[in-house]
Amino acid sequence: MIESSDKTERAVRAKSRDMSESSVGIEENSMKIIESEIGTHGYSELQWNIV
């Protein structure tokens, strides 16, 4: 279950990116899967956002 503060943060991010909350949730889940499959890498945090 999503906690209230997480839900509020997701709503704010969705609105700022002109996305629905469910789209933001799908994106979050996709990134978690990608990060778990990639594992460790040599990219900085800024570089990883671009990759």
Residue range(s) defining the domain that contains residue 17: 2-49
Distance CA 32, CA 15 (A): 21
- 47 token code pair: 């570089």
> pLDDT-derived band of residue 50, with 50, 70 and 90 as boundaries?
confident
Residue listed under structure tokens 């002109």:
18
For position 43, what pLDDT does the model report? 92
- Statement: the pTM of the whole predicted model exceeds 0.85: no
42 with 31: CB under 8 angstroms?
no
For position 1, what pLDDT does the model report? 55
**Total number of domains constituting the chain:** 1
User: Each residue of 5-47: pLDDT tens digit?
Assistant: 888 888 888 778 777 888 888 888 998 999 899 988 899 989 9
In the three-class reduction of DSSP (H, G, I as helix; E, B as strand; rest coil), residue 15 is classed as: helix
> pLDDT-derived band of residue 2, with 50, 70 and 90 as boundaries?
low
Distance CA 16, CA 11 (A): 9
